[in-house]
Amino acid sequence: MTSVLIGYALVFGVMAAYAVRVLSRGRSLARRLPDEDKPWI
């Protein structure tokens, strides 16, 4: 079961790290740019 838990930890760890990286990059850029450069608003 240890291998299984390591596998799950790796997948959700990498997924969370990538999500945090995308969100923090988004926050950093959103602070530097005016709202008219954000087409989703």
Partner 1 sequence: MSTTPTVTSTGTRASRIMGIAALVGIGWLLMFGLVLSPEDVNQGNYARLLYIHVPSAWLAYLSFFVTAMASALYLWKRTRSAAWDRVAGASAEIGVVFTGLALITGMVWGKAVWGVYWTWDARLTSTALLFVLFLGYLAIRQLDAPPDVTAKRAAIAGLIAFVDVPIVHQSVQWWRTLHQEASVLRQDLKVEMDGLMLFSLFVGVVAFSLVYVWLMLHRTRVGAMEQALDDKGLELAIAERHAEAGLTPADPVAAGAVVDGGH
Minimum distance, C-beta of residue 13 to partner 1, in the bound complex (Å): 10
Closest contact distance (angstroms) between CB of 33 and partner 1 is 6
Question: What sign results for the dihedral spanned by CA atoms 27, 31, 37, 41?
Answer: positive
| 20 near partner 1, judged by CB under 8 A | no
From residue 21, how far is each of 4, 13, 14, 36, 38 by CA, in Å?
26, 12, 10, 23, 19
Residue ranges in contact with partner 1 by CB under 8 A: 1, 3-4, 6-8, 10-12, 14-15, 18-19, 22-23, 25-27, 29-41
